[in-house]
């Protein structure tokens, strides 16, 4: 079956709730658009604002979130956020792309394919080169980035003491 990225739609409410529940506490650090205890319709409104760049909090940049889906399957396998641009502050430990795969769907190659599809969208949007970061101890994510052409530039420490690796991908 074919994998594809799609924007959130009303019909994905149940799948989104299951995905965020399965992801657990990880989602609060990974996804700009997620807020604990928000209803799906509130998420959709926030998604639209970030996608269009309207009504954003001070210092925020436009972001589009996509769901990784598989043809014929009603489950969200992963989620990827693409920042339309990044600020000077974001250059330190953030990047253009954030992604996660549902824990039950990991180690199946979905993250590599999800990042490849996200890079195709970045190319269409005129974003490039693309900065993607991961925790230094997240070896699986580093391999995903490297498998998509990521070249390690350096490591930096975030405000909370975590060490991030910064990879650049030329499109």
pTM: 0.90
CATH of region 3-169: 3.40.630.30
- 171 residues of the chain, pLDDT tens digit each: 799 999 999 999 999 888 888 877 655 455 555 555 568 888 899 899 999 999 998 888 999 999 999 999 999 999 999 999 999 888 877 899 999 999 999 999 999 999 999 999 999 999 989 999 999 999 999 999 999 999 999 999 988 898 999 999 999
Going from the C-alpha of 4 to that of each of 1, 67, 89, 115, the distances in angstroms are 10, 8, 31, 11
Burial 109-135 (b: 16+ CB within 10 A, else e): ebbbbbbebbbeebeeeebeebbbbbe
pLDDT, position 34: 54
Task: Give the start-end residues of each E strand in 103-144.
Answer: 130-135
pLDDT, position 27: 54
Task: Look at residue 161 and give its three-state secondary structure.
Answer: coil
Annotate 67-96 with DSSP letters as a single string. Answer: EEEETT--S--EEEEEESS--TTHHHH--S
pLDDT, position 133: 94
What are the strands of the beta sheet with 78-83, ordered from one edge?
Answer: 3-6, 63-70, 78-83, 97-101, 130-135, 163-169, 151-157
pLDDT, position 122: 98
pLDDT, position 63: 93
């Amino acid at each position: 079956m074919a994998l594809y990225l799609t924007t959130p739609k009303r019909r994905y409410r149940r799948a989104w709730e299951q995905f965020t529940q399965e992801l657990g506490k990880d989602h609060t650090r990974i996804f700009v658009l997620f807020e604990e205890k928000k209803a799906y319709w509130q998420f959709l409104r926030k998604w639209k604002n970030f996608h269009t760049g309207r009504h954003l909090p001070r210092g925020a940049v436009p972001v589009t979130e996509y769901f990784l889906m598989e043809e014929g399957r009603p489950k969200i396998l992963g989620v990827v956020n693409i920042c339309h641009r990044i600020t000077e502050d974001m250059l330190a430990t953030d990047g253009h792309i954030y992604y996660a795969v549902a824990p039950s769907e990991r180690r199946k190659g979905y993250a590599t394919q999800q990042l490849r599809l996200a890079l195709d969208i970045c190319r269409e949007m005129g974003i490039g080169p693309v900065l993607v970061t991961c925790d230094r101890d997240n070896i699986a994510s580093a391999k995903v980035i490297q498998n998509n052409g990521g070249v390690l530039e350096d490591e930096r420490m975030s405000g909370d003491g975590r060490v991030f690796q910064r990879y650049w991908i030329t499109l």
